Amino acid sequence: MHELSIATAIVEQAEEIARTDGADGVSSVTVRVGELAGVVPDALHFAFEVAREGTALSGASLVVEQVPALAWCGGCAEEFAVGMPPFFWCPACDRPSRELRSGRELEITGVEPVPAPT
Ligand SMILES: [Zn+2]
């Protein structure tokens, strides 16, 4: 289950970001996951609950923003959804395109610190 290694990496990076910001803990982490990133959101949520144990994220929740896979057609100058499984063929002009614009994202976009206890 490779989601566990991804979740562990997310936890480690979020801890690092929180530490840099001087936060004691993290209340939530937001990640962008592309349709073609090969990550199952349900599995990622489950893995996150395992990976956060004993870390600064032990009380944190995971927010997954899914990014649709879009390719660019130069002929139409428009993006089209490649779908799942991906099909790199413009539906408008019936020509192939492999110019992927989005869909492989796997990145942390937000780390929400726990409010300071003052
Ligand atoms: Zn086209």
CB 30, CB 104: distance < 8 Å: no
CATH topology of domain 1-67+103-118: hypothetical protein PF0899 fold (3.30.2320)
Distance CA(17)–CA(108), nearest Å, equals: 10
> In the chain, which segments carry CATH 3.30.2320.50?
1-67+103-118
All residues with CB under 5 Å from ion ligand 1 = 73, 75-76, 90, 92-93
pLDDT at 1: 57
Mean pLDDT, each 10-residue run in order, the chain (118 residues): 92 96 94 95 96 96 97 96 92 94 96 83
54 is in an annotated binding site: no
Q: Residue 72 Cα, ligand 1 centroid: separation in angstroms?
A: 8
